[in-house]
A and B are shown apart, each in its own frame.
Chain A
Amino acid sequence: MADIGEGGGGGHKKGPGVKKGKKVNPRVDLTPMVDLGFLLITFFIFTTTMSTPTAMSLYLPKDTEKPEEQNKAKESGALTLMLAKDRNVFYYEGILAEDGSNFKSTNFKELRNIILDKKSRTDAKDLVIVIKPNKDSKFKDVVDALDEMTINDIKRYALVDIAEPEQKLIEVSQGASQQ
């Protein structure tokens, strides 16, 4: 395969004493070159990075101690999402009831419908979504929740620490669901 032909292999017979005219095959065998080419292609395919990382901008509000400087959220327009262990999401609208009756459980698949439902029912300027990740939630959950705000075109949202009663309710309901 890789040898260069000897110019027609003898050719027709000449008379005695006449030297054979050396004919060289003009076709050079390309197989090794192609092999090398593909080897390099495989190398570059494996080393190349196709996906460049993207960045999601995040703006934090300044923490203020003075209550008059804090942002006020209207009760009717507030939706609080709590992120918990194993990608569980809990939520309530407005203010958490004393007995926890408006405390509901969901997951990331249902979350979009809940947000869109809330969005359709409330005035755009009153709508505020509060995201409260608890200590068992993962970074991915937080990013997914923030991403959900971009996807659903929510203008006002906040990342807030979870409060003690909410944490307790999550523990109770997660403990109950595991049994």
Chain B
Amino acid sequence: MTAFCDVAFLLLAFFILTTKFKPPEAISVTTPNSVSSKAAEDKNQVLFTISPEGKVFLSLSEEDKRMDVVDDLNKRLNLQLTDADIKRAAKAEFFASPLSTLKSYLSLEPDQRKGDALPGIPCVDSTNNEVNEWLASAVNVFFGAKMNLMVKGDQDVPYPTFKLVIDAFKKNDQMKFQVVTNQEAVPEGSPLSKKQREGAASSSAEQ
């Protein structure tokens, strides 16, 4: 019995120490798989999430950046937000409303900003693409600092929506970004797996 108990608590300690709670997500998204093994950065994130219905959400990892971005939008586009509205933006895990209703969106309680009822950032065609404005503000805010621009799309997102988001990136001269994926194994016998094996062999030979 004692041994059993020991094992149980050892496992318990392991899981407590390794667990990392999922950050609240704008919307649940099943990302596609890729062989990329680089872990996604979680600092200075500017993440556009695309839901299966094609709605676009923006999340920023830093609270002060959220405020700065909303402040910048307010100044550039004259959205008539008050200082209190901008302060509230710090607590917004993600932004999912047209710019015209941003004021009422920010006045929502954080637990009301959930689920599928949110309108999302309008991204319908090349003339009605507010991702542009959000990204332009983010670029202003992150000026001189490193911005980790990412796209996280559900695997069933239709390509035209993804393209509109990319077009907005191009418009803002953001030519480098990352696509969030799930890792999968490199297929055996492919050039990449050969290359990786050679790389491993040469690095071990150097040692």
A residues in contact (CB < 8 Å) with B: 30-31, 33-34, 37-38, 40-41, 44-45, 47-49, 51-63, 83, 112, 116, 119, 133-144, 146-147, 150-153, 161
List chain A residues, Cβ under 8 A from B40: 52-55
Contacts A37-B5, A48-B19, A60-B175: A112 and B190 contacting too (C-beta < 8 A)?
A: yes
A139 touches B50 (CB 8 A): yes
Q: B residues near A, CB below 8 A?
A: 1-2, 4-5, 8-9, 11-12, 15-16, 18-22, 31-41, 50, 150, 152-160, 162-163, 166, 169-170, 173, 175-183, 186-187, 190-192, 195
A41-B182 contact in complex given A139-B159, A153-B195, C-beta closer than 8 Å: no
Asked whether B175 lies within 8 Å of A142 as measured between CB atoms, the reply is no
Secondary structure of the B side of the interface?
A: mixed
Residues of A within 8 A of B170 (CB): 60, 62-63
Known contacts A58-B177, A60-B175, A147-B35; decide if A152 and B158 are in contact (CB<8 Å). Answer: no
Kindly list chain B residues whose C-beta atoms are within 8 Å of the C-beta of A150. Answer: 34-36, 192
Once the chains bind, are A56 and B34 in contact (CB under 8 Å)?
Answer: yes
What's the Cα separation between A14 and B206 when bound, in Å?
82
Counting chain A CB atoms within 10 Å of each CB, the highest count among B22, B38, B179 belongs to B179
**A62 / chain B contacts, CB cutoff of 8 Å:** 170, 173, 175
Q: Determine whether the beta carbon of A139 is less than 8 Å from that of B36.
A: no
Q: Which residue from chain A places its CB closest to the CB of B40 in the assembled complex?
A: A55
Q: How far is the CA of A124 from the CA of B4 in the complex (A)?
A: 60
Kindly identify which residue among B179, B190, B191 contacts A143, using a CB–CB cutoff of 8 Å.
B179
14 A-B contacts, Cβ less than 8 Å apart?
A: A34-B5, A41-B8, A41-B12, A44-B12, A47-B19, A48-B19, A49-B20, A53-B40, A54-B38, A55-B150, A55-B179, A60-B177, A134-B159, A150-B34
Instruction: For A30, list chain B residues within 8 Å (CB).
Output: 1-2, 5
Write the chain B residue with the least CB distance to A31: B1
20 A-B pairs besides A33-B5, A37-B9 with CB distance below 8 A are: A34-B1, A44-B15, A48-B20, A51-B182, A55-B36, A56-B178, A56-B181, A58-B178, A60-B169, A62-B170, A116-B191, A119-B191, A133-B163, A138-B155, A139-B156, A140-B156, A147-B33, A147-B36, A151-B191, A153-B195
In the complex, which residue of chain B has the Cβ closest to the Cβ of A162? B159
Please, how many angstroms separate the alpha-carbon atoms of A63 and B173 in the complex?
10
Q: Give chain A residues whose Cβ lies under 8 Å from the Cβ of B38.
A: 54-57
Select which of B36, B169, B192 is within 8 A of A152 by beta carbon: B192
Q: Are B39 and A142 in contact (CB under 8 A)?
A: no
